[in-house]
Structure 1
């Protein structure tokens, strides 16, 4: 897991893990995605983009808060993934985070799934 300054006590972490499909990568977010933590997401995404990965699934199960800086980090991550030939999707949004996506209209930009299984079974093209 990564956190600001490498601390294990960080308010925000990103854990990277492979899933049953070799072409898919899961980024599990934990904590609050905001001005203080957006760089952690950017760095994790930059480190994980590799040949053969065409799907990045962002696990928001433990994402408790996301402000406008966090939304921008996710939008940039989506754009970076697309530039690398991958698709970035989200799953398991908590109600308070989903509300922020709805209010800002960002929810229409991403494919959002209820859970990982649903995301993995969706074989939509990039």
Structure 2
């Protein structure tokens, strides 16, 4: 286990943000992931896409962080979408049932294109 986790906001557009995650998500780093994601949501981007291309490991602490992020996003009428999930992590999401409640896509472009368009709010 390591405490090396790199979190980078790679895109923001209105209520949407993409957060790129690189490294291991474990008991040492999961709190930083959760804190950064919740900060992005609080900054007015409740629809969050996590780009997991660079994730090399994820333990139960990471799963708990993902659930917490999803719940916070939903509480603000937002959403959590996962993109570019490494095969090992995808299998674990499916085995734990998380894969059925968190939409996932092969890359961030597919995740962005799959997002439903929302009607503009009345003036």
What TM-score does the superposition give when structure 2 sets the normalisation length? 0.85
Aligned length: 117
What TM-score does the superposition give when structure 1 sets the normalisation length? 0.83
Determine helix, strand or coil for the equivalent of 1:13: strand
Q: Deviations over 1:28-70 (max 9, x none)?
A: 1111111111111111022212465241000000011111110
Of residues 63, 66, 71 in structure 2, which corresponds to 1:71? 63
- For 1:16, the equivalent position in structure 2 comes to 9
Determine helix, strand or coil for the equivalent of 1:49: helix
1:55-94 correspondence to structure 2 within 5 Å: 55-94=47-86
**Runs of 4 or more consecutive aligned structure 1 residues displaced over 6 Å after TM superposition:** none
Alignment gaps of 5+ in structure 2: 119-123
C-alpha contact (below 8 Å) 2:3/2:29 kept by paired residues? no
